[in-house]
Structure 1
Amino acid sequence: MKVACVGGGPAGLYFSILMKRQDPSHDITVHERDPAGSTYGWGVTYWPGLLDKLHAADPASARAIREHSVRWSGGVAHIGDRVTEHHGDEGFGIARRTLLDLLAERAASLGVRLTFEHAVSDESEAPDADLVVACDGVNSALRGRHTGHFGTEVAAGRNMYVWLGTTKVFDSFTFAFVETPHGWIWCYAYRYEEGRSTCVVECSPATWTGLGLHRAGRAEGLALLERLFAKPLDGHPLTGRARADGSAQWRSFRTVTNRTWYRDNLVLVGDAAHTTHYSIGAGTTLALEDAIALAGALRGSPRLQPALARYERQRKAAILSAQSAARYSAQWYEDLPRYIQLAPPQMFALLGQRHSPLLPHVPPQLYYRIDRAAEQLQALRRLKRWLGPRVARTLHAHSGAARR
């Protein structure tokens, strides 16, 4: 099979790796419009379960990704001048550029051709390809030429956000909520490599304009954010990229959905097919899982269309829970004033419950009490399951001794 992957992100690179592993005779080219080594974003986060899936699909790249990742554990929330912690959650971070370099190196070692500074905006530009994989992101040019067929819908979120980096090392996934005269502004931060962390800042449009961030240049905006988040940053600077006009890259999140994911020999993967709000940290994971599913659907299949249909069915079903979680997570932050006045432990607990479809419809204090009661009931059930066999053995031993 001759394959053209349009877009050199995680989905396209990983798909090319898996296809070459399945059959080295596949003729695969990855077309990337940007120069080699250039990328957006700072670091990405993922959860331990992804490593198991990557190891099953390609142990070599899984080992490389794990070796270049850093681990964080637990969560910390700065709410004004108060701090609360949550223990238990664990995840990984890796620099996006490092991830792409590792996947590109692995793909090239298997015989995949990588072409940079080569934009492909139409399937006709890959005329001999048996399969064209559109992994060209949220603004997919290939998808854009057939929006009617794909049934593409794009919904813009209300809040504004900017993706930044910092030299402050966050060993836990950290949230910081700061009240200003114009409303609350907050950040999510996590470590992605030694000595560096990602810091995503978000706020409502009213806060964004009230603080003057809509007209601030990159340096001016970063200085303001450094002052606002001085406590969690411990005096460390923020870094960010600017647009051509010198302004900061603030934007609203766009949720992309498609009614169908393929057309003839063109198939969508990753952000070209679907997006999930960054607050659940699933974008890169879902893109890699798309690649695994597409390669699996094509394995040993003599006919392309049934394989693409099978891929679409599997992935649409698989991402339903993530899409729901992302939708409610984004809504939670848009409704932040509803929760921010709770006591910090309660507010942080509901932050962890933000994926719940019930939470927006129940008073926060009542939801918190119900959630704690349910947790205690589960604890009692676990205790009962643990005690049951032990009590039974003790009673059996005593009854046996009495009979003797």
Structure 2
Amino acid sequence: MKVACVGGGPAGLYLSILLKLQDPSHDITVFERDPEGSTYGWGVTYWRGLLDRLHTHDPVTARAVEEASVRWSDGVAHVRDLSTRHRGDQGHGIGRHRLLEILAARARSLGVRLEHGHEITGHDIPDADLVVAADGVRSALRTRYADHFGTDVRPGGNPYIWLGTTKVFDAFTFAFVETEHGWIWCYGYGYDAGHSTCVVECAPETHRGLGLDRATEADSLALLEKLFAHVLDGRPLIGRSQADAPAPWLTFRTITNRTWHRGNLVLLGDAAHTTHYSIGAGTTLALEDAIALAGALRAHDTLPQALTAYERERRAALLPAQSAARYSAQWYENLPRYIDLPPEQMFALLGQRHSPLLPHVPPQLYYRLDRAAGQLGALRRLKRRLGPRVARALHARRLAGRG
């Protein structure tokens, strides 16, 4: 089969790897519009479950990704001059540059052709048996047939900016700072031995009040470094090296599509769907798309059957993540509802921000109910664990009494 994969991000590269592993005779080309090594995005996060799936499908790639990743298991929240730390699941961070280097090297080693600096528009679709639109949020191929795909784009409310820093966070770090124009906050996590990602977000009125809507990148970084100095420890924030240009603030766009395929053209990753960055799942979902598409192509005899099965599987799998992302974004957009709680309560509800019930229950009541449910669950687990031991001990005592 001849495959043209448009977009050299994680989804497109990993799909090309999986297809070559399934059948080395596949003729696969990955087209990427940007020069090699020019990617922007600092670090990405993922969790152990993804790594286990990578080990199942390609141990070589999985080992390289794991070796290049950093790990953390704590979450830290700073609110005004108060801080709290909680133990959580183990998270992983890897530089986007490094991840793409690993995937590109593996793809080349299997015989995939990579053509960088080659932009595919909606009017010059490659001649192939299968064309994969893995060209991201602004997918040219999806846009070309937007009516067919039924593309829906919904902008979020809060502006955000994606930055790097030489401050290496030892935990997934949240910092909330109160200004005279409202709250501004950041999420920080390490991705290699010397760098972290730092995403800054605020409400639109705070963005305007602080002058961030009209500041250059250099001026924005200077202000943000001052606001978050207590968590950056004096380390600088790193932008896109265009100091005199406007700072690249964005509003997140949630993209959905009524269908994901048209003839031999199929959507993959962010071209098919997006989930708010606050749940840290974008790269994971894109790689899982690639796994599902490769599996469907292996399992079905015809392309229409395979693309239909892929879409059906991934739509069902995405529902929990899409719901979690939607409620997570709303939590931040309604930050004043939670920010004045005691730090341990605020942080607990930060961890519960995916809950569809939380917006409809008074925060302190929800916290008490959640604590009670947790204690009840712990008691039930303890009873299940100790029950057989207690029963055996009582039985032994009864037998001893009879003796």
Instruction: Give the TM-score of the pair, scaled to structure 1.
Output: 0.98
Deviation per CA, 1:265-291: give whole Å up to 9, x if none.
000000000000000000000000000
Structure 1 pair 237–124 and aligned structure 2 pair: CA distance change class (3 A) = closer
Partner SS for 2:320: helix
How big is the shift at 1:243? 6.1
How big is the shift at 1:293? 0.2
Partner SS for 2:85: strand
1:66 maps to 66
Deviation per CA, 1:207-259: give whole Å up to 9, x if none.
00100111111111101000000101111110011669611110100000001
- One-letter amino acid of the structure 2 residue matched with residue 307 of structure 1: A
How big is the shift at 1:391? 1.1
How big is the shift at 1:386? 2.1
Partner SS for 1:178: strand
Partner SS for 1:253: strand
1:30 maps to 30
Conserved? CA contact 2:218–2:243, under 8 Å: no
Q: How far, CA to CA, are the matches of 2:58 and 2:205 in structure 1?
A: 47
Deviation per CA, 1:16-75: give whole Å up to 9, x if none.
000000000000000000001111110000000001101111110011000100101110
1:212 maps to 211
Partner SS for 1:158: strand
How big is the shift at 1:125? 3.3
How big is the shift at 1:357? 0.3
Conserved? CA contact 1:69–1:193, under 8 Å: yes
Q: How far, CA to CA, are the matches of 2:173 and 2:132 in structure 1?
A: 36
2:353 maps to 354
2:179 is the counterpart of 1:180: yes
Structure 1's unaligned 5+ residue stretches are none
Conserved? CA contact 2:44–2:93, under 8 Å: yes
- One-letter amino acid of the structure 2 residue matched with residue 177 of structure 1: F
2:161 is the counterpart of 1:134: no
Deviation per CA, 1:359-393: give whole Å up to 9, x if none.
00111111111111111111111121122111111
Deviation per CA, 1:176-208: give whole Å up to 9, x if none.
000000000000000000011000000001000
2:369 maps to 370
Equivalent residues in 2 for 1:214-293 (5 A)?
214-241=213-240, 246-293=245-292
2:48 is the counterpart of 1:48: yes
Q: How far, CA to CA, are the matches of 2:174 and 2:244 in structure 1?
A: 30
Q: Would you identify which runs of 4 or more consecutive aligned residues in structure 1 move more than 2 Å? A: 122-125, 242-245
Q: How far, CA to CA, are the matches of 2:73 and 2:359 in structure 1?
A: 28
How big is the shift at 1:300? 4.8
Conserved? CA contact 2:46–2:92, under 8 Å: yes
Equivalent residues in 2 for 1:78-93 (5 A)?
78-93=78-93
Q: How far, CA to CA, are the matches of 1:380 and 1:14 in structure 2?
A: 44
Q: How far, CA to CA, are the matches of 2:314 and 2:299 in structure 1?
A: 19
2:162 maps to 163
How big is the shift at 1:124? 4.3
Structure 1 pair 74–86 and aligned structure 2 pair: CA distance change class (3 A) = same
Conserved? CA contact 1:184–1:203, under 8 Å: yes
2:332 maps to 333
How big is the shift at 1:301? 2.9
How big is the shift at 1:396? 1.2
Partner SS for 1:386: helix
- One-letter amino acid of the structure 1 residue matched with residue 108 of structure 2: A
Q: How many residues align?
A: 403
How big is the shift at 1:304? 0.5
2:402 maps to 403
Deviation per CA, 1:311-369: give whole Å up to 9, x if none.
00000000000000000000000000000010100000000000000100111111111
Q: How far, CA to CA, are the matches of 1:33 and 1:27 in structure 2?
A: 20
- One-letter amino acid of the structure 1 residue matched with residue 231 of structure 2: P
Q: How far, CA to CA, are the matches of 1:97 and 1:32 in structure 2?
A: 14
- One-letter amino acid of the structure 2 residue matched with residue 104 of structure 1: A
Q: How far, CA to CA, are the matches of 2:183 and 2:358 in structure 1?
A: 21
How big is the shift at 1:397? 1.2
- One-letter amino acid of the structure 2 residue matched with residue 327 of structure 1: R
Conserved? CA contact 1:123–1:132, under 8 Å: no
Structure 2's unaligned 5+ residue stretches are none
Structure 1 pair 295–75 and aligned structure 2 pair: CA distance change class (3 A) = same
Q: Percent identity?
A: 72
2:32 is the counterpart of 1:15: no
Q: How far, CA to CA, are the matches of 1:123 and 1:287 in structure 2?
A: 25
Q: How far, CA to CA, are the matches of 1:226 and 1:44 in structure 2?
A: 22
Q: How far, CA to CA, are the matches of 2:386 and 2:46 in structure 1?
A: 36
Q: CA RMSD in A?
A: 1.1
Q: How far, CA to CA, are the matches of 1:149 and 1:210 in structure 2?
A: 41
Equivalent residues in 2 for 1:147-162 (5 A)?
147-162=146-161
